Amino acid sequence: MPPADATTDKPAVKSGLAAFEEFHALPISEKIALLSRGRELYHCLFAEQFDRPLLDRLGRLCDHLRVLTKTKEGDDFVATVLSHRRAMLYFSQPSTRTFLSFQNACHILGMKTCEIRDPRTSSEMKGESFEDSIRTFASYTDIIIIRHFENNFAEHAARVLHGTPRVVPIVNAGAGTFQHPTQALLDVYTMNRCLEGGIEGTTLMLVGDLKRGRTVRSLALMMRHYRDVRILLVSPPEFRMRPDILDALRAAGVFYEETSDFAGALSEADTVYMTRVQDEHDAAGESRAVNVAGFVLRPEHLRRIKPKAIILHPLPRRGEIDPAVDLDPRAAYWRQERNGLWTRAALIAMIFGAEKALLARIT
Ligand code: NCD
């Protein structure tokens, strides 16, 4: 039995692990409906929450924000829009870009931020329960942005809050080996900006540890909203994309091909998306046995890549792209990184219903 309508905010279901497992087993579409609180975007937990109209709207808001904030007047205005809101950044896994871009995105919108980056400094260490910790974060802030090693931590946090009188939006800023939807949003935005004619009709090459890379999993799902996209999944056999994503692509009619021939696939790609080995998820150092030497982008490969292609990487890189490639005009990963700022600001603005007020302000 699915839990009762969560839009009422009534403690309709028992909280705790049993209740979460029941909830977690629901299809994502049902979970999204239960967690939406009557708004199109409230929690941001899964790539599946974004359809094409929403992606297009986010893109427009990003464009608008980057122009608005170019002048002092515009930037000052943007900083008034959510100056009555507070954000909590709960990052229990290492992060540079996602943390800084979320924090600065909040500041661009005038929000105050607080953070826990090391759970050893919080009362979790005194044995406080998961539920009490999440409720406490919600007591002091209006949105909780979470990065966690566990796949379901953010989803669980959202579920817990729906059994309490105070519900605040939860944003997944990287969930284990599961998903990283906001990275996929900034990747989509970057591809749309940098590819002549946008994403439709292009070939996306995803390279590296596709098995555990949460960015490529979320990005592949987003590609279902763009016509005639081909995906080349390029990895060593040990790091192949997991079947859940392949099934979703097949069901949506997205053409994909799996290969280990990195150099061969390069000439077909419009977007070359490189990733690192996610060895923090190794059980016993098993990544060391995988030969990834053939999945490195070096200057000698550049002549194989289409003249108008783009090269992306969610970063941090650890040797998958030779720094000499940075000089090539097709290297777009530093622009991609900066786009994280606008995308996350646009997302938060949308969650708080500030889209209209921002768009109404002419530059
Ligand atoms: C990615 C992540 O954390 O999944 N980094 C990021 O958010 N920019 C990719 C990675 O760490 O490999």
Domain of residue 216, CATH code: 3.40.50.1370
Ligand 1 centre to CA of 139 (Å) is 29
| Same structural domain, 261 and 160 | no
| Same structural domain, 67 and 117 | yes
- Give the model's pLDDT for residue 135: 96
Choose the catalytic residue: 72, 120, 126, 288.
Answer: 126
Residue of 95, 153, 180, 321 to mutate, ligand 1, most atoms within 8 A of C-beta: 180
Contacts (Cβ under 8 Å, ≥6 apart) of 341: 101, 104, 105, 108
- Domains: count for the chain: 2
Bridge-based pairing state of the strands 112-116 and 86-91: parallel
> Is 176:211 a contact under the CB 8 Å cutoff?
no
Bridge-based pairing state of the strands 143-148 and 230-234: unpaired
> What residues are in contact with ligand 1 under a 6 Å CB criterion?
97-98, 174, 180, 183, 214-215, 275-276, 314-316
Residues in the chain, total:
363
Atom of ligand 1 nearest to the CA of 337: 8
- Give the model's pLDDT for residue 39: 75
| Same structural domain, 205 and 154 | no
Whether 221 is covered by a domain: the verdict is yes
pTM (2 decimals)? 0.94
Atom of ligand 1 nearest to the CA of 275: 12
How many Å is the Cα radius of gyration of the chain? 20
| Same structural domain, 122 and 192 | no
- Give the model's pLDDT for residue 5: 36
Whether 199 is covered by a domain: the verdict is yes
Ligand 1 centre to CA of 8 (Å) is 35
| Same structural domain, 186 and 313 | yes
Whether 9 is covered by a domain: the verdict is no
Whether 315 is covered by a domain: the verdict is yes
> Is 277:292 a contact under the CB 8 Å cutoff?
yes
> Is 34:3 a contact under the CB 8 Å cutoff?
yes
- Give the model's pLDDT for residue 122: 81
Whether 60 is covered by a domain: the verdict is yes
Residue 55, domain extent: 16-180+340-360
| Same structural domain, 153 and 213 | no
Choose the catalytic residue: 24, 57, 86, 97.
Answer: 97
Q: What is the mean pLDDT of the chain?
A: 93
Residues linked to residue 205 through DSSP beta bridges, in sequence order: 232, 272
- Sign of the CA dihedral with 149 first, then 155, 158, and 163 last: negative
Tell me the per-residue pLDDT of 64-104, one tens digit each, with 9 for 90 and over.
Answer: 999 999 999 999 999 999 999 999 999 999 999 999 999 99
| Same structural domain, 171 and 296 | no
| Same structural domain, 27 and 176 | yes
| Same structural domain, 203 and 319 | yes
Whether 273 is covered by a domain: the verdict is yes
CA angle (106 as vertex; 20, 273 as ends), nearest 5: 75
Atom of ligand 1 nearest to the CA of 93: 3
Atom of ligand 1 nearest to the CA of 98: 7
Whether 47 is covered by a domain: the verdict is yes
DSSP tag of 2: P
- Give the model's pLDDT for residue 221: 98
Bridge-based pairing state of the strands 143-148 and 86-91: parallel
Whether 10 is covered by a domain: the verdict is no
| Same structural domain, 175 and 189 | no
| Same structural domain, 273 and 325 | yes
Cis, peptide link before residue 316, omega less than 30° from 0? yes
Report which residue type is found at 71: T
- Give the model's pLDDT for residue 363: 74
Residue of 315, 317, 333, 335 to mutate, ligand 1, most atoms within 8 A of C-beta: 315
- Give the model's pLDDT for residue 16: 57
| Positions of the chain with pLDDT under 50 | 1-15
Which two structure tokens, joined as six digits, stand for 218? 């979320």
Which two structure tokens, joined as six digits, stand for 267? 């000439």
- Give the model's pLDDT for residue 118: 86
Query: How far are the Cα atoms of 60, 173, 341 from residue 182, in angstroms, in the given order?
Result: 16, 6, 11
- Give the model's pLDDT for residue 211: 98
Helix ranges, 162-301 (H)? 181-194, 214-222, 243-251, 262-266
| Same structural domain, 46 and 100 | yes
